[in-house]
Amino acid sequence: MTEVNAEQLQLSIADNGIGIPAEVQESPRGTLGMRLMKGLSAELHGDFNVRQEFGTIITLIFSRNPVYIKKRKIM
């Protein structure tokens, strides 16, 4: 995790594997992992990006200000 600027943080995850097929990335259903990552991005009002560059690089840029994060009641 790195600081982009005073208001934003960036979480990056990378590997040097074979990558994620484009059809999985763009599919509305995708894999459970992809849905979880996109869901986290939406909850944080962040920018989610997946790119293939000597493997897979996944980045999530989001605000460090918790005002934008809705609180949920957990049962």
Report pLDDT digits (tens) over 49-74: 988 888 899 999 998 876 655 555 55
HEC readout, the chain: CEECCCCEEEEEEEECCCCCCHHHHHCCCCCHHHHHHHHHHHHCCCEEEEEECCCEEEEEEEECCHHHCCCCCCC
Report pLDDT digits (tens) over 6-51: 999 999 999 998 887 777 666 667 788 888 988 889 888 899 998 8
Domains of the chain, start order: 2-68 (3.30.565.10)
